[in-house]
Amino acid sequence: MPVNVLEYATLFQQELDKQVVAGAVTGFMEGNAGLVSYSGGKTVKVPKISMDGLGDYDRNTGFKKGAATLEFEPFVMGQDRATSFSLDSQDVNETNFVASASNLMGEFQRVKVIPEVDAFRLSKIATLAIAKAGNCVSYGYTPIATDILTKIRADIAAVQDVIGSGVQLLVVMSILTKNVLGNSTEIVKQLTVGGISPVQAGIMTTGASIDLKVTMIDKCPIIEVPSALMKTAFVFADGSTNFGFKVADDAKNINWIIMAQNTAIAVCKTDTMRIFDPNTNQDADAWKLDYRKYHDLFIMDNKYVTLKVNIKEAAV
């Protein structure tokens, strides 16, 4: 076995992990996993703090005794995904293996892994919001140019009314919905561009036409997502007869998700990147690349107040 096979695996794993974070529109959610306790197996534990509020001070007895509790809320990891690739030894030699494998796995990440991870996370946020019900979700709105901005601002205000205006909110929006927003008849008064100049923002204006490159609504950045990924449910193939994922038959369309940056905790770990050279591979005279991704998304109970999902179809 070439002595550098293990180095290949380590290198590819590091690069793949970086690519997922950089390429995924939901990559910012992984930054919320810093406090997650993960020691192997299926369970991760997230710290949860609860405490009492203020009471009256008594001049005779002094302070009232409140309680503060730190506990770890357990969540079970559910997405254990994997696949294996084979590169024939006659097509790849030792000198160009790195380039060939890098191209293969890089393209695999770009067109297969990243879209699936985004689809899973966005659909799970919607699924959790639907299960929680209450103010977390609203149904039955088809975006139109005459009132879309009013609808989005109303959802933002509904969240801010609970958590205050000091918490940074994000608007995750399908590109088709964003296009309707761009044609909004209310846009001149209500849509701003990040507080920077048109030149800095990359805005080109011709007469009354405005091409907005960086947009915010009420200081909430908009993250654009392909509409194919903004669904409430997907089917993830098990690899027996099919691979990848597809939209579930009963899926609904998500217009937008309003959420704080720390609403969702995305735990994403490439557990294994294994490479076997042709002499070691017992199945074929080929390089064998095994790839496994173990990931999931969780929302703490106290974070649902920072979430609002707007769905196009009616609830039933």
In a domain, 29, yes or no: no
In one-letter notation, the amino acid at residue 298 is F
Q: How far apart are CA 275 and CA 32, in angstroms?
A: 31
In a domain, 12, yes or no: yes
In a domain, 156, yes or no: yes
In a domain, 102, yes or no: yes
**pLDDT given for residue 287 in this prediction:** 81
In a domain, 224, yes or no: yes
Query: Taking all residues of the chain, what is their mean pLDDT, rounded to a whole number?
Result: 82
**Across residues 125-138, what is the average pLDDT?**
92
Predicted TM-score (pTM) of the model is 0.80
In a domain, 277, yes or no: yes
In a domain, 232, yes or no: yes
Whether the pLDDT of residue 187 is over 60: the answer is yes
**pLDDT given for residue 151 in this prediction:** 95
Task: Give me the number of domains the chain comprises.
Answer: 1
Q: Which domain holds residue 135?
A: 5-24+78-311
Q: How many Cα atoms occupy the beta-carbon half-sphere of 290 within 13 Å?
A: 9
In a domain, 15, yes or no: yes
163-182 tens-digit pLDDT = 998 899 999 999 999 999 98
Assign residue 112 a region: left if phi > 0, alpha if psi is -120 to 50, beta otherwise? alpha
DSSP-derived pairing of the beta strands 137-138 and 37-38: unpaired
209-260 tens-digit pLDDT = 555 444 788 889 999 999 999 999 999 999 888 899 999 999 999 999 999 9
Of 217, 262, 293, nearest in space to 35 by CA: 262
260-275 tens-digit pLDDT = 998 998 887 766 778 8
**pLDDT given for residue 8 in this prediction:** 60
